Structure 1
Amino acid sequence: MRVLEDANTKELYSESHPRLKSTEGRMSIPQFKKRWQPQKAPDTSKLVTLYGRIQSIRKHGNKLIFLTIVNEVETIQGMINLKMVQPMTKEAFKLFGRLIERGDHIFYVAITGKPTRSSTGELVLEARVLPELLAPAMEPIPESLTDPETKSQKRHLDMLVNREVADTLRLKSHIMQFIRDHFLRDDFLEVQTPILAHNAGGAVARPFVTRATEFPNKELSLRVAPELWLKRLVVGGLNKVFEMGPSFRNEGIDATHNPEFTMCEFYSAYANLEDLIGITEALMQGLANRCDELIRDKLTSLQPIDVAKFAAPFPRIEFIPALEEALGFRLPNLSGRDALPEVLAESVPSTLAKLLDRLAAVYLEPQSFERPALITHHPACMSPLAKSFLCPRTGQLVSARAELFVDGRELANMYEEENDPTAQARKLAEYRAMSARKPSSSSLAGVEGDGEGEGGMAVQGGRDDGDMDAAPLDKSYIKAMEAGLPPTGGWGCGVERLVMLFSGANRISDCLTFGTLRNVVGLTSEGPGHGAEYGTATQDKQNGDDQDGEKPV
């Protein structure tokens, strides 16, 4: 750790963390480069002032120092020549050279000078005033950082040293902005719905529960999804609404799941499944183009995107016919009470919906590795919140639903909403009853623990209909539907899953500002050995945080 205020440095720096002064000609490095880059001969009639962090220092003798200064993703080279700065002694200049270090924030970073060009044509800001130290890096910034423990516990250093870490978070911001702009251009209204409520409905998950001082006798829950709130708004006349925000599910942590995550959902009155698929294809193609542009021009540490892969239309896989073809036999009536025993073979999940989801994971979802694919028309028993109809091709009762899969991972889930309150109450009751029924002991021989919730909604932030047996029936929502929910199309997507797709990240922790909950708890705990107590990046790996398997049961 450096001591900046000794007898030798006080003359140069009266304080190590001064207030920021207002100066003429102040601009960001991107603004500076945009203004002067096109000019063959930069205008040297005006001084400019930039701020940033020292990325590297190169000294040439005792009279010349080159600095690379970074602000966000843009860098620029600064040149400090003893002959060109305001009059000062050689000893003072040498002291300045010994004082500044990599990671310091300075005033231009802090060079104030005239823009020139190097012999290679690169923009260089030649100092006319000696840079002023704004904030020293008291902790050394390493040249490289690969240790998982350190990367987890010192995320700020990981971002500074490994550019792809920060670039992934920047890409996430751009993805969210693109989604927001896409919906706003289509006349959607962005809303915020409650995060804390009496019941957590609308998705499959174990909620986080707490109590409020205002309601000491009531148990409250953090939301697991905004679905039911958003559909209430559609009933209230807000025909096109969307929301991006946090949701919370008190479940395991792995490569694609974290208890806190970002979800995006939209609901559009008078939209059917074909409309939802068209919106999805347009959004994904637009995101691919935008992310590819950003990675080529700014976020260059990330891997390029195969834009052609996302060209619409996407292949469609009809659930029941495709599964029957893969299994080699015709499925029984999946709406019947005895459907599960008829389909059981050896080792299976405990409910029909879970079984169908598991079969889809084996036989259907891998078809998305070459190109994004839409799995459509799931059996009605898997989607109690969706409209259902009798499929003329199979004679089965199916849902007006589609799931988007890319590289074997679910990205989005969409369906026509059930808007008949009587039918909705009946479907939810039937679903809960089906979940409560267990197959015979002979049928369960060798059954292992189930992984994903029923419905297979692996998408965090997607519209997860699985394990509805764990979710209470929201009677107030059914009552709200009686005021008239118009025919409505709904769509949900986990934002971190999109970021993983377009950034090339292998773990959801890479797409969260401070990693998974395991990392966050380790960061905020106190005392020695807290990393071992609460889990570290190394333990994340051991617990499957870098694997693509199912959530821990």
Structure 2
Amino acid sequence: MSRPPLQFLRPCLSRSFRPAAKPEHARVYRDIQKRFTQTVAEDAYLGPRATEKQKRLDQLRKVQPIQDYHPRLRASPGVDNVSPLEFMAKYGAIGEHSPDTVSVFGRIRSVRLMGSKLMFIDVERNNHKLQVLVKGKDIANASEDGESGYKAFKQVARVGDWISIKGKPSRTPAGQLSLLALRVPQILAPCLHHVPGKVENPEILARRPHLHQLIDREPGDILRLRSLIHNYIRSSFLDDGFVEVETPMFDISAGGAIARPFETVANEMSNTSIKLRIAPELSLKRLIVGGQDRIFELGRVFRNEGVDSTHNPEFTICEFYEAGATLADLIIRTERLLQGLARVIEQQRGAMFPSLSSGELDLDLTSPFKQLPFIPTIEQAISCKLPDLLSPTALQDLLTLFSDLQLQVPNDANLPRLLDALAEAYIEPLCQSPTFITHHPEALSPLSKSFLDPTTSQRVASRVELFIAGREYVNAYEEENSPFEQRRKFQQQLEFNPDGSGNIDESYVEALEWGMPPTGGWGCGVDRLVMLFAGKKRIADVLPFGTLRNVVSMSRNAASVKEEWDSGMAG
């Protein structure tokens, strides 16, 4: 009868067994464990390997096991951990060297070999670079395995790797401030792919935003510009006594604007279709009804509509509501906000985002901004009067006018869409410098107060839109606070839809019945502000992950992008 497997381990089951703590046993155990772990990692966790990645893995494996290349970052007693920026600030005035010992980590941006015993490495972190000197002779004298460690590091270090260096601040004979390594730099995270100097294929950049930031400073500068704009807007409102609030992303009705919403279902309410908000407007105004005086929200909204150069289904908006604010107040606040923002951006441009131009326009933000009344401007351009927009024949009269003017009729034409098309053709091209479009027809603004304009004898809204370079940036109006007028205007909007779609938000009308004070409301597309001050014409260029198309394609088309990359699409 054969002996049971692993019979030699039976004594270990005895309660009196005490393991022998011998160093050689520990070393054997550690080596077996590392070999086992390495085998498992290589077999199961290295992922897809194209030719280039496989060569890199083979190169790294010759020096040490793959799993050893991502160690924890550890502090050394008596050694300051500093960033390249902190290093330059602290040691910028030293002479030949400093007695301090410091530790710096960063991403390798260049490696220059000067013979077999000297390396110059540029490491970068947060857009600040530092030169590192690695002298083979000094490293060899520092420890027993220094020479072999230096040769191994020189063999595997490449652009894109994250490394940690312990050394002393010093200057080169040419006077450049550098970090003189005292030991072999430690690789913290190797880059398994070649980092190109340039990529010509825009699809690869769109689907690999991390690569775009690695090879080009501009995406990071745009992130910093966006952050500055967010912070300035927020601090401006807070300084003026506004309260920042958050309102629901989901609701039964998307509310606050005329757009197609995204719809979904919550597991807890599977019989109810809920919508992602297209604007926070109605929720914010409920807070005004509840007694808040000045509130604002800076957040995301979602509109299930087209993707083009200036539109994305998911975007950032800022809205504020101020009890007692008139249209004149909103105009003044808008002008001051843009003027202050432009001033701060220009002060910070060189330090925070030097790769960005000063914008696509030489903006003249001097107050007051130009104003163009909606109906008179169109009538002057077409040399005839618009029909009475409240008459039963208004839609047909406008269609006849479009035919006479040889203008293309928009899809699903109704009164608001036809008026929008006229504004796009005859007003927006006139708005190159900052311009407020005023006195919109009532049909275009169901949530604003309205009045009879004595100049045109048309019913118009207490509303302004700010346009710059033909693009809309701000929409502001005196809010409709009468529940009776609001219900009439909601009903009017339903009549504009021939298919009968839509509904009246009775819960919002009921909120108005509790009394909303005269209130000014304001909304601004933040992404477009970033476009303006970054000098970009496409919204995709100022979104960290591009438009919805880019976000979806990052995962859906990952395999095809990989094939393009591996077949030499990188420049």
Q: Same fold (TM over 0.5)?
A: yes
Establish whether residue 477 from structure 1 lines up as the match of residue 532 from structure 2. no
- Larger C-alpha radius of gyration, 1 or 2? 2
Q: Once superposed, what is the RMSD of the aligned Cα atoms?
A: 2.7
SS of alignment partner, residue 61 of structure 1: coil
The one-letter amino acid of 1:428's match is F
CA deviations over 1:67-124 (Å, ceiling 9, x no partner)? 22211222222222335556255554233222111000111xx3532154773x6542
CA deviations over 1:288-339 (Å, ceiling 9, x no partner)? 2233333322312211246653333321112122222112123333233323
Answer whether contact 1:114 1:128 (CA < 8 A) is retained. no
Indicate which of 375, 385, 409 corresponds to 1:348.
Answer: 409
Equivalent residue runs for 1:429-448 within 5 Å: 429-436=491-498
Indicate which of 191, 194, 211 corresponds to 1:140.
Answer: 194
- Mapped to 2, the partners of 1:43 and 1:335 lie a distance apart of 82
Equivalent residue runs for 1:223-372 within 5 Å: 223-305=277-359, 308-343=363-398, 344-345=400-401, 346=403, 347-349=408-410, 350-369=413-432, 371-372=433-434
- Mapped to 2, the partners of 1:122 and 1:6 lie a distance apart of 32
Q: Shift in Å at residue 340 of structure 1?
A: 3.1
Cross-structure match for 2:71: 18
Establish whether residue 381 from structure 1 lines up as the match of residue 443 from structure 2. yes
The one-letter amino acid of 1:525's match is R
Q: Shift in Å at residue 206 of structure 1?
A: 1.3
Establish whether residue 210 from structure 1 lines up as the match of residue 264 from structure 2. yes
CA deviations over 1:155-188 (Å, ceiling 9, x no partner)? 2111111221222223222211221111111111
CA deviations over 1:9-37 (Å, ceiling 9, x no partner)? 249x9920001113442233333334444
- Mapped to 1, the partners of 2:524 and 2:216 lie a distance apart of 28
Q: 1:277 to 1:47 in 2, by over 3 A?
A: farther
- Mapped to 1, the partners of 2:149 and 2:409 lie a distance apart of 77
Cross-structure match for 1:506: 537
Cross-structure match for 2:12: none
- Mapped to 1, the partners of 2:160 and 2:269 lie a distance apart of 49
**Higher-helix-fraction structure:** 2
Answer whether contact 2:327 2:462 (CA < 8 A) is retained. yes
- Mapped to 2, the partners of 1:67 and 1:225 lie a distance apart of 50
SS of alignment partner, residue 263 of structure 1: strand
TM-score (norm 2): 0.81
> What are structure 2's unaligned runs of at least 5 residues?
1-52, 564-568
Establish whether residue 29 from structure 1 lines up as the match of residue 77 from structure 2. no
Answer whether contact 1:4 1:16 (CA < 8 A) is retained. no
Answer whether contact 2:60 2:156 (CA < 8 A) is retained. no
- Mapped to 1, the partners of 2:358 and 2:196 lie a distance apart of 27
SS of alignment partner, residue 361 of structure 1: helix
Indicate which of 396, 416, 420 corresponds to 2:478.
Answer: 416
Cross-structure match for 2:18: none
SS of alignment partner, residue 483 of structure 1: coil
Answer whether contact 1:78 1:111 (CA < 8 A) is retained. no
SS of alignment partner, residue 67 of structure 1: strand
Query: Mean alpha-carbon deviation: is it higher for 287-296 or for 499-508?
Result: 287-296
Q: Shift in Å at residue 478 of structure 1?
A: 0.6
Q: Percent identity?
A: 42
> What are structure 1's unaligned runs of at least 5 residues?
438-468, 533-537, 539-553
Q: 1:296 to 1:6 in 2, by over 3 A?
A: closer
SS of alignment partner, residue 151 of structure 1: helix
The one-letter amino acid of 2:422's match is L
Answer whether contact 2:142 2:182 (CA < 8 A) is retained. no
Q: Shift in Å at residue 42 of structure 1?
A: 8.9
- Mapped to 2, the partners of 1:265 and 1:239 lie a distance apart of 14
Indicate which of 227, 233, 257 corresponds to 1:173.
Answer: 227
Q: 1:483 to 1:151 in 2, by over 3 A?
A: same
Q: 1:470 to 1:106 in 2, by over 3 A?
A: farther
SS of alignment partner, residue 465 of structure 2: strand
- Mapped to 1, the partners of 2:495 and 2:314 lie a distance apart of 29
The one-letter amino acid of 1:516's match is T
The one-letter amino acid of 2:350's match is R
TM-score (norm 1): 0.83
SS of alignment partner, residue 309 of structure 1: coil
- Mapped to 2, the partners of 1:332 and 1:494 lie a distance apart of 32
Establish whether residue 190 from structure 1 lines up as the match of residue 244 from structure 2. yes
SS of alignment partner, residue 332 of structure 1: coil
Q: 1:84 to 1:271 in 2, by over 3 A?
A: farther
Q: 1:338 to 1:117 in 2, by over 3 A?
A: farther
Answer whether contact 2:225 2:352 (CA < 8 A) is retained. no
Cross-structure match for 1:517: 548
Answer whether contact 2:388 2:394 (CA < 8 A) is retained. yes
Q: 1:474 to 1:116 in 2, by over 3 A?
A: farther
Q: Shift in Å at residue 43 of structure 1?
A: 8.1
- Mapped to 1, the partners of 2:197 and 2:562 lie a distance apart of 24
SS of alignment partner, residue 15 of structure 1: helix
SS of alignment partner, residue 152 of structure 1: helix
